[in-house]
């Protein structure tokens, strides 16, 4: 098991401007570079304004809103206590005000994987010599010696991905037409063991991407079975303990595939979880 504590990590501004606006991150945990199950688990805070034009990605995202509102301001919003699944290939836009969210970005069902932020930062410095990032798009200068069929204007992240990987982005056909917004308050708690209850908010795609909330009552024991894929946890409230140390709000943890764990609650412990996609045969990123 690997753990990180949000209180030990400071928010910092990203080293890119492929998305403009007031946003900062606490990078908590990350996966294995080059793996189709690569991921970044972080807290994201957007301030007075964080806009982004319509865009899509070749990776998946899950957002759990801790405070405020994240979304487009037109009905596709994740409010405090709600969760959103942003699938690869599906278009969405952003027009958010003040918010703090748990953000998991990870390789989706197609197996394309996810590119670490350090690679994006390096690519941004290099690509900035060939043009300008402005309002969520990258505009190439005539002096950049563009490759044939490379557009003059391009989505900022798309341009970075292409520069880093040396080939155009291939977007998977969307399995879902738009982001899926989940309202946990509308779900019932289902008993899982003595003193342990679960709200399974959703299981997505043929790769069994799972997201939900677990509640462990005081002095109850949660025996986490060995998951088939990396399993990410974030403590929303309460305290407890395990062989990994003390558990309290803001603790993030990763269980590797096949790794179980036992957690005992002191007072009522509530945890948000994401199970990453399961692949029958793990392939390197294409």
Would you tell me which CATH number, out of the four given (3.40.50.150, 3.20.20.390, 2.60.120.10, 3.40.50.1860), belongs to the domain 187-275? 2.60.120.10
pLDDT value at residue 20: 61
pLDDT value at residue 149: 63
pLDDT value at residue 239: 98
Task: Centre a 10 Å sphere on the Cβ of residue 194 and count the other Cβ atoms it contains.
Answer: 8
- What length does the chain have? 286
Strand 269-275 to strand 261-265: parallel, antiparallel, or no bridges (unpaired)? Answer: unpaired
Q: Which residues of the chain register pLDDT less than 70?
A: 15-21, 143-150, 281-286
Q: Which region holds residue 145: left if phi is over 0, alpha if psi is between -120 and 50, else beta?
A: left
pLDDT value at residue 73: 76
pLDDT value at residue 95: 82
Residues 54, 93: contact at Cβ < 8 Å? Answer: yes
Residues 102, 70: contact at Cβ < 8 Å? Answer: no
Alpha helix stretches (DSSP H) within the chain: 117-127, 156-165
- The span from the CA of 129 to the CA of 143, in Å, is 10
- The span from the CA of 250 to the CA of 102, in Å, is 10
DSSP 3-state assignment of 227?
coil
- The span from the CA of 251 to the CA of 232, in Å, is 11
Kindly list the domain boundaries of the chain, sorted by start residue.
187-275
Tokens encoding 113: 């994987």
The neighbouring-strand residues paired with 253 are 3, 233
pLDDT value at residue 285: 41
- The span from the CA of 216 to the CA of 265, in Å, is 6
Which is nearest to 164 in space by CA: 135, 110, 126, 111?
A: 126
């Amino acid at each position: 098991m690997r753990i990180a504590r949000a209180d030990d990590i400071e928010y910092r501004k990203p080293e890119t401007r492929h998305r403009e606006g007031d946003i900062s991150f606490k990078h908590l945990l990350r996966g294995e570079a080059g793996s189709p199950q690569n991921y970044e688990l972080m807290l994201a805070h957007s301030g007075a304004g964080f806009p982004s034009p319509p865009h899509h990605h070749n990776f998946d995202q899950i957002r759990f809103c801790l405070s405020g509102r994240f979304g487009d301001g037109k009905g596709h919003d994740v409010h405090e206590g709600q969760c959103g699944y942003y699938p690869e290939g599906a278009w969405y836009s952003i027009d958010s005000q003040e918010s703090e969210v748990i953000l998991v970005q990870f390789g989706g069902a197609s197996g394309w994987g996810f590119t670490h932020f350090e690679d994006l930062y390096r690519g941004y410095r290099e690509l900035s010599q060939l043009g300008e990032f402005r309002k969520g798009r990258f505009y190439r200068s005539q002096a950049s010696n563009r490759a044939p069929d490379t557009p003059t204007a391009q989505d900022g992240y798309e341009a970075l991905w292409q520069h880093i990987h040396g080939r155009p982005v291939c977007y998977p056909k969307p399995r879902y037409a738009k982001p899926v917004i989940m309202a946990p308050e509308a779900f019932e708690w289902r008993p899982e063991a003595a003193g342990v209850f679960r709200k399974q908010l959703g299981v997505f795609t043929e790769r069994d991407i799972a997201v939900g909330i677990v509640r462990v009552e005081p002095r109850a024991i949660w025996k986490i079975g060995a998951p088939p894929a990396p399993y990410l946890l974030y403590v929303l409230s309460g305290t407890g303990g395990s062989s990994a140390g003390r558990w309290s709000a803001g603790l993030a943890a990763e269980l590797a595939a096949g790794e179980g764990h036992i957690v005992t609650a002191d007072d009522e412990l509530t945890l948000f979880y994401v199970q990453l996609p399961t692949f029958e045969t793990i392939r390197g990123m294409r």
